[in-house]
Amino acid sequence: LGLTMLGGLLHILVYFLVGWGHSDGAVFPISQPDSLLYFQSARQIARGMAFEYTPGSGVSTGSTTHLYPFILAIPYALGATGDALPLAGFLINALFYLGFIGCWVLEVFKLVPSSLGRVFACLMLVLSGQSAYTAASQSDMGLFMLVSSGMLAAVLYNRWTLFGFLLALAPWCRPEGVPMALLFVLVAFASRLIVKLTIPCRAWICGGVGAASAAGVFVFNHWRTGDWQFQSVLNKG
């Protein structure tokens, strides 16, 4: 675990140095335009105008995520405003990435029986450029990576309270969290009916909480905007 986390820290350090080297020394660079949308949303939240992208424009759910801008609003409210917010966002996503790696190391120890296999799996994990880039690009995916990997770790280690909390949180992190919550209930039913697997009561409770949370996202969207879907993905194929 220690060596894998050290590899993750080196990944973050390389991204930081390369990114800072391509800046003018004043603003930490970002790799995609969506990050600016989240920064703008965070600023509006800190100013007391949540879900209003620009003052007077009306309420919008165009950020694809309800939770992530609120997380970014914390450093903004603490003083990381203007050019400092991209750097604060990078550091937050670095923590998400380290948490993601830590969860997968725990999962490797449960899923891979041999010591050599575990070493190889952890090596592949820490060498995954896609995972590091996804977190470093400062979208809402860094948060979702942490939540989704935490869900699997919670199931493997029989931590159902933690799993239920993360399952309920997932729909508010990314739209993909909605089908994840609903599919868990469907898989539980299929496992019970088809292969006669005994599903613990705690799992059913978690599934119900997750499904209710997923439905709550659509209710919240409709309450705020009149559209059930996120306006960021409305009318997409």
Q: What is d(CA 214, CA 66) in angstroms, rounded to the nearest whole number? A: 12
Decide which of 17 and 20 is more confident. 17
C-alpha angle 45-49-54 in degrees, rounded to nearest 5: 100
Q: How confident is the model at residue 215, as a pLDDT?
A: 94
Residue 148 and residue 181 in contact, taking contact as beta carbons nearer than 8 Å: no
Confidence of residue 168 (pLDDT cuts 50, 70, 90): very high
pLDDT at 75 over 90: yes
Residue 103 and residue 155 in contact, taking contact as beta carbons nearer than 8 Å: no
The mean pLDDT value of the chain amounts to 88
Token pair for 208: 């119900």
Helix (H) or strand (E) holding 32: none
Cβ atoms within 10 Å of 146's Cβ, excluding its own: 23
Q: What is d(CA 185, CA 40) in angstroms, rounded to the nearest whole number? A: 36
Q: How confident is the model at residue 192, as a pLDDT?
A: 78
pLDDT at 69 over 80: yes
pTM: 0.89
State mean pLDDT over 216-231: 86
Q: What is d(CA 11, CA 202) in angstroms, rounded to the nearest whole number? A: 38
pLDDT at 195 over 90: no
Token pair for 40: 């703008």
Confidence of residue 26 (pLDDT cuts 50, 70, 90): low
Q: What is d(CA 138, CA 15) in angstroms, rounded to the nearest whole number? A: 12
Q: What is d(CA 214, CA 232) in angstroms, rounded to the nearest whole number? A: 17
